[in-house]
Amino acid sequence: MKKRDVIKHFGGVLATAKALGISHVAVSRWGEEIPQGRAYQIQVITKGKLKASPNFEQQSS
């Protein structure tokens, strides 16, 4: 799940943060790909309009 798609869906960083119950700073710190746990949360909140990628593997930095 791409960060830009999530932010577009919710209408901005602040709206995304509010929908997820997290700070806007946390949203801003996401990389291009949404962290897997958040991606599943977003999938549930959006009733499947945005889907988590089950094969996504986070790369260590």
| pLDDT value of residue 56 | 52
Average pLDDT rounded to a whole number, residues 6-11: 97
| pLDDT value of residue 53 | 84
Check if the beta carbon of residue 2 is closer than 8 Å to that of residue 33.
Answer: yes
Question: What predicted TM-score, i.e. pTM, was given to this entire model?
Answer: 0.81
Q: How far is CA 23 from the centre of its chain?
A: 13
Any domain includes 58: no
Any domain includes 61: no
* CB burial string 23-35: b at 16+ within 10 A, e below: eeeebeebeeebb
CB-based contacts of 15, cutoff 8 Å, min separation 6: none
The CATH number of residue 10's host domain is 1.10.260.40
Number of structural domains in the chain: 1
pLDDT digits (tens, 9 = 90+) for 9-54: 999 999 999 999 999 999 999 999 999 999 999 999 999 999 998 7
